[in-house]
Amino acid sequence: MDATNRPLRIPPEMGVYAEKEKVFELIQKMMERLLLDRPEDPIQYLIDHLKNNNDEVPRIFLLGPLASGKRTLEIPSELWTKLIQEHLSKVDCIKQGWVIEAFPQTREQALMLQMAGIVPEHVVILDAPDNVLLERNPGKRIDPTNGERYHTAFDWPSDPVIQQRLVVPEGTSEEQTGKRLLDYHRNLSGIINSYSKIFKKINVDQPYVDAFAQVLTFVQSRHRNAAPHTPRILLFGPPGSGKSLQAALMTQKYGIVNICSGQVLKEAVAGKTKLGELIKPYIENKQQVPDHIVVKLLAEHLSKLDSSTRGWVLHGFPQDLEQARKLNDLRFVPNRVFFLDIPDETVFERLSLRMTDPVTGDRYHSMYKPAPSMKVQLRLNQNPKHAEENLKMRLDMYHANVQDLESFYEGVIHVNADQDPHTVFEYIESFTIKPLPKPVLQ
């Protein structure tokens, strides 16, 4: 930051660094832990917190009624809390995270945990109809020699010796099951109120693989926080995939700066700037503008105050790996990269049948929006870029570079763009305003 220049402006790379290293989230987490644990030596506590480097580890409560797929133990609440505190203070829990099953079972227990500073990131509530649970519970069996659990319908051992020694656990009769279900439903609303913003119900009346996939997706999600977020979006896609429309919709709704590389070049020429004078001969001769000129021009737009503060959505550039590296070297790093995927035949259908009225400037399409009269139809012109041979060349160029671009940018998001554009926008929007999911848990 240059203190001699007024007004003082924070360089764009500072925001990129803060977001990449999760500086704002780190400060928020440290403040949360300070308020919860209230250590006698806050400075040393924060130093230890940074050394642990465990803000991203999973902290999960796994709750649900009996026979929903978790295991329960009947232990007094106070003892449970003490046991949990002891276990969570161990190094493996601090470094790797933890999952607590079947506790808390009441709002009182939830508040007890919160007072002890035990706060989960995610609360998973396994859910199933009562009649399904009433059918499942009586089938439980336990091996008294090793405590292994089995089920007469879902997990019956193949060894006849094990089958002979299995016993029926206590609390599985229909009357006992019904009573425990009533207790569960009576206390559920209190638990949900205690974790109203971080819980999710998962239907377990389905194959366990599907239920697990839903649980995994949820615990990998990140909750929204108050940390500043400046969207820096790259849109990739073949011609006709709707990049310009999606960028315009983002700009219209969120005020993000819309930067189209082709439009930026035309504006520079029309404005008769120094770079525009360099670009003009290339455009007039229908030649590709050299990368170093395009990058310099884009850098001017991306470094402006409105782009740094409101964010930006860039499309039309980069088109290959070398261009992507040049943009990255200038530290214009996107935090969302979308690939709008459509079949080649859809590209031809969308663009090769598109025509423009030279009198009014209106666009028409032979299939979706035909001209209103024969008079208008006869004067329509096709953009030379939309001729089939030119489209094929542009598509070949896109497909030749798309894999390198996917590999260069981490966490790319693929979008099915062969559907209603507002549906596509909702999908892009959801990944823009919400934090990206955590990496897959090992």
Q: Is the pLDDT of residue 6 over 50?
A: yes
Which range among 2-6, 151-155, 178-182 has the greatest average pLDDT? Answer: 178-182
Tens of pLDDT, residues 389-400: 899 999 999 999
At residue 224, the pLDDT reads 75
Predicted confidence band of residue 223 (pLDDT cuts 50, 70, 90): confident
CATH architecture of the domain 232-352+387-433 equals 3-Layer(aba) Sandwich (3.40)
| Strand ranges for 297-371 from DSSP E | 312-315, 336-341, 354-356, 363-365
At residue 76, the pLDDT reads 62
Q: Is the pLDDT of residue 441 over 70?
A: no
At residue 20, the pLDDT reads 77
State the residue for tokens 């649970």: 133
pTM of this prediction exceeds 0.75: no
Tens of pLDDT, residues 242-260: 999 999 999 999 999 999 9
Predicted confidence band of residue 410 (pLDDT cuts 50, 70, 90): confident
Residue 438 to residue 151: CA distance in whole angstroms: 34
Degrees (nearest 5) of the Cα angle 256, 258, 263? 170
Residue 340 to residue 354: CA distance in whole angstroms: 20
Residue 170 DSSP SS3 = coil
Residue 354 to residue 235: CA distance in whole angstroms: 22
Q: Which of 260, 237, 435, 182 is nearest to 351 (CA)?
A: 237
If you count them, how many residues does the chain have? 442
At residue 77, the pLDDT reads 66
Tens of pLDDT, residues 197-216: 899 999 988 887 888 889 88
Please give the average per-residue pLDDT across 357-378, as a whole number: 87
At residue 418, the pLDDT reads 94
CATH topology match: 58-219 vs 232-352+387-433: yes
Tens of pLDDT, residues 23-42: 888 888 888 888 878 888 98
Degrees (nearest 5) of the Cα angle 27, 29, 33? 120
Residue 340 DSSP SS3 = strand
Tens of pLDDT, residues 132-144: 877 777 778 888 8
Please give the average per-residue pLDDT across 313-321, as a whole number: 95
Q: Is the pLDDT of residue 3 over 80?
A: no
Please give the average per-residue pLDDT across 296-310, as a whole number: 90
Residue 362 neighbours by CB distance under 10 Å: 14
Residue 63 DSSP SS3 = strand
Residue 108 to residue 100: CA distance in whole angstroms: 17
Give DSSP secondary structure letters for 152-186.
TTTB--S-HHHHHH-BPPTT-SHHHHHHHHHHHHH
Q: Are 95 and 48 in contact (CB under 8 A)?
A: no
Give DSSP secondary structure letters for 361-381.
--EEETTTB--SSHHHHHH-B
Extract the tokens encoding 252.
Answer: 């219209």
Extract the tokens encoding 42.
Answer: 């806050």
Q: Is the pLDDT of residue 308 over 80?
A: yes
Residue 428 neighbours by CB distance under 10 Å: 23
Q: Residue 432: CA atoms inside 13 Å, Cβ hemisphere, count? A: 27
The helix or strand, by DSSP H or E, that contains position 249, with its residue range, turns out to be helix 243-254
Residue 140 to residue 68: CA distance in whole angstroms: 12
Superfamily for domain range 58-219:
P-loop containing nucleotide triphosphate hydrolases (3.40.50.300)
Q: Is the pLDDT of residue 341 over 60?
A: yes
Q: Are 204 and 64 in contact (CB under 8 A)?
A: yes
Which range among 258-262, 267-271, 348-352 has the greatest average pLDDT? Answer: 258-262
At residue 7, the pLDDT reads 56
Give DSSP secondary structure letters for 4-22.
TSSS----HHHHHHHHHTT
At residue 12, the pLDDT reads 67
Residue 11 to residue 1: CA distance in whole angstroms: 6
Q: Are 199 and 120 in contact (CB under 8 A)?
A: no
Strand partners, 415: 340
Q: Is the pLDDT of residue 320 over 70?
A: yes
Residue 140 to residue 128: CA distance in whole angstroms: 17
Please give the average per-residue pLDDT across 102-107, as a whole number: 88
Residue 245 to residue 248: CA distance in whole angstroms: 5
- Per DSSP, helices labelled H in 39-129 are 42-52, 77-88, 91-96, 107-115
At residue 347, the pLDDT reads 92
At residue 72, the pLDDT reads 42
CA 418, 423, 427, 433 torsion: positive or negative?
positive
User: Could you give phi then psi for residue 350, rounded to 5 degrees?
Assistant: -75, -40
Please give the average per-residue pLDDT across 43-51, as a whole number: 86
Predicted confidence band of residue 73 (pLDDT cuts 50, 70, 90): very low
Q: Is the pLDDT of residue 346 over 80?
A: yes
Which range among 117-121, 181-185, 425-429 has the greatest average pLDDT? Answer: 425-429
Q: Is the pLDDT of residue 239 over 90?
A: yes
The ranges assigned to domains in the chain are: 58-219, 232-352+387-433
More confident residue, 369 or 137: 369
Extract the tokens encoding 266.
Answer: 């035309």
- Please report, rounded to a whole number, the percentage of residues in the chain having pLDDT higher than 90: 32
At residue 154, the pLDDT reads 75
Predicted confidence band of residue 181 (pLDDT cuts 50, 70, 90): confident
- Please report, rounded to a whole number, the percentage of residues in the chain having pLDDT higher than 70: 93
Strand partners, 201: 125
